[in-house]
Copies of this chain bind each other. A is one copy, B any other.
Amino acid sequence: MTHLPDQGPQPGVHDLGYARLDTDRLERTGDAEVVYGAGKTPAQVVELLRTLHATHPSHAILATRLTVEAQEAVADALPSAVIDPVGRTAVVGQPPALRGTVAVVSAGTSDAPVAAEAATTAWVFGAEVDLITDVGVAGLHRVMGVRERLDAADCLIVVAGMEGALPSVVGGLVGVPLVAVPTSVGYGASFGGVAALLGMLNSCAPGVTVVNIDNGFGAGVFAARVARQSVPRETKES
């Protein structure tokens, strides 16, 4: 648009035209920037991953919300990338030495993509992950059966759609910090995840916090931060 004044380059920013990488975020917050894939072309995702990886070679770089096409482009261009078609993520490089454990618990098969995004994110951000699936509240025996794994985690991520009741049940069983993730799974009066979101915000179990609908990434970042600063389990008093 020729009528607008030019802007010179800004220090500390890698300008790719369609995006500007905040290359010193790592120093500021301890975590490198992430590629949010929604609305980006496969070629852009590849270039962003490559640039961030070159800037931070000793960290893992995460890309989320990748289309199938973007996943294929990454697999072609960056053979060392770990790609998860369920969670629609790609990871380039190795995460730091893992500290603490995040247990990711999900209610139904349809919640798997969000749970996988949360799990991969927690891992990239430096925590061990224990993935526990298909423990819906309508089958309490499954929840009971994993109680020890829940109790052993430093932070829990509980993923559920529809009525979003699982965090209340899990939160009543153990005293571990719990992040609830509502998913958009459901129909009719689920209103794209609003029913689950409201259920989780109103949980009768104390110590439950909530992130945005389908926001596995945010839950993963938060839980990894909690887990990696936790006292090792064997020295913890419960």
A156 nearest CB across to chain B (Å): 11
Query: Of B18, B119, B137, B144, which one neighbours A1 at CB under 8 angstroms?
Result: B119
Asked if A164 is an interface residue, CB under 8 A from chain B, the answer is yes
Complex Cα spacing A204 to B137, Å: 8
Residues of B within 8 A of A195 (CB): 195, 198-199, 201-202
A107 nearest CB across to chain B (Å): 7
Residues of B within 8 A of A82 (CB): 1-3
Residues of B within 8 A of A206 (CB): 31, 34, 217-218, 221-222
Q: Mark A78-102, 1 if CB is under 8 A from B, else 0.
A: 0000101011000100010000000
A13 nearest CB across to chain B (Å): 8
Q: Mark A167-185, 1 if CB is under 8 A from B, else 0.
A: 0110111111111001010
Complex Cα spacing A145 to B8, Å: 13
Asked if B189 and A3 make an inter-chain contact with CB atoms under 8 angstroms apart, the answer reads no
Residues of B within 8 A of A204 (CB): 107-108, 136-138, 162-163, 165
Complex Cα spacing A28 to B132, Å: 22
Asked if A163 and B199 make an inter-chain contact with CB atoms under 8 angstroms apart, the answer reads yes
A79 nearest CB across to chain B (Å): 14
Q: With A164-B199, A222-B209 given, is the CB distance from A1 to B84 under 8 Å?
A: yes
Complex Cα spacing A190 to B197, Å: 11
Asked if A194 and B198 make an inter-chain contact with CB atoms under 8 angstroms apart, the answer reads yes
- Across the interface, name the chain B residue whose C-beta is closest to A219: B209
- Across the interface, name the chain B residue whose C-beta is closest to A87: B1
Asked if A129 and B3 make an inter-chain contact with CB atoms under 8 angstroms apart, the answer reads yes
Asked if B131 and A5 make an inter-chain contact with CB atoms under 8 angstroms apart, the answer reads yes
Residues of B within 8 A of A171 (CB): 138
Asked if A231 is an interface residue, CB under 8 A from chain B, the answer is yes
Complex Cα spacing A221 to B19, Å: 28
Residues of A at under 8 Å CB distance from B? Answer: 1-5, 7, 10, 13, 18-20, 22, 25, 28-31, 34, 38-39, 82, 84, 86-87, 91, 95, 107-110, 116, 119-120, 123, 129-134, 136-140, 142-145, 154-155, 162-165, 168-169, 171-179, 182, 184, 186-215, 217-219, 221-222, 225-226, 229-231, 236, 238
